[in-house]
Amino acid sequence: MNKSELAKAIADKAGITKAQAGDAIDAFADAIVGAAKSDDSVQLAGFGTFHAKHREAREVRNPRTGEKMMSKAKTQLAFRPASALKDI
């Protein structure tokens, strides 16, 4: 399912226009990204938690040349599903 199909499903279920559903999806994604940037989490009961996951710099190897190098430390968005969602 892509964003357009998701917007159509939300619009049909909520009784709103597809454009309004698309705006709601964008606002939801922006809120999650904003929370991750401020090192906060977004918890949705019965669904799961979006949170920032910090990865330290580490030594990696280029598979083509075998050269060792250091990867950069980074923060990425992670999702931890709720137990109700895991059962599906």
10-24 residues labelled b (16+ CB within 10 A) or e (exposed): bbeeeeeeeeebbee
Can you give the pTM of this predicted structure? Answer: 0.75
Per-residue pLDDT tens digits for 17-45 = 999 999 999 999 999 999 999 989 999 99
**Nearest residue to 81 via CA among 45, 38, 40:** 45
What is the C-alpha separation between 80 and 75, in angstroms, rounded? 16
Return the pLDDT at 88.
81
**What is the pLDDT confidence band of residue 84, given thresholds at 50, 70 and 90?**
confident
